[in-house]
Amino acid sequence: MIANAESADRVRELLLRNLQEVFGERDGERRRAAIDELWAEDGVLYAPTGPITGHAAIAEFAGVLRATHPDFAYVPGRPQVLHDAGRLGWGSGPRGAAPAYTGWDVILVRDGLIAALYVFLDEGSAEAQRMRDTRHR
């Protein structure tokens, strides 16, 4: 449970840094270092394709996603915090252009680290369809 403003600040930091330093990072070594710093060892990423557990698997998923859209950048909204959880709306698309897709990240934090991340893609985008198609393979 969030006991003070510093803890709420940590939840906000985790949301923003995860978006940019994990999913927005092109360099695999820097991505993995960020995961090691931001994520619990047993952290679970709940993506539209299915759950992904642990640092190595999360790093692989984020790397594959980054390679799918190498010229895209993430633009975050304003994070919101409630107790030990937070949410962040974001858009992703070519730099300087309207987002190609949008979504929400919802995290649960344990001991100052991301224990779970739920990724919600807004319906109707090609990326949401690609993720659904990947899940059914």
The pLDDT tens digits for 62-73 are 999 999 999 999
- pTM of the predicted protein model: 0.88
Domain boundaries, the chain: 5-135
Buried b (16+ CB within 10 A) or exposed e, 67-85: eeeeebebeeeebebeebb
- Helices 55-68 and 28-38, packing angle to 10 deg: 140
Q: Which of 60, 94, 84, 100 is nearest to 12 (CA)?
A: 84
**CB 70, CB 85: distance < 8 Å:** no
Tens of pLDDT, residues 66-105 = 999 999 999 999 999 999 999 999 999 999 999 999 999 9
| Structure tokens given for 68 | 């799918």
What CATH number is given for 5-135 in this structure?
A: 3.10.450.50
Query: Which whole number is the average pLDDT over 20-39?
Result: 98
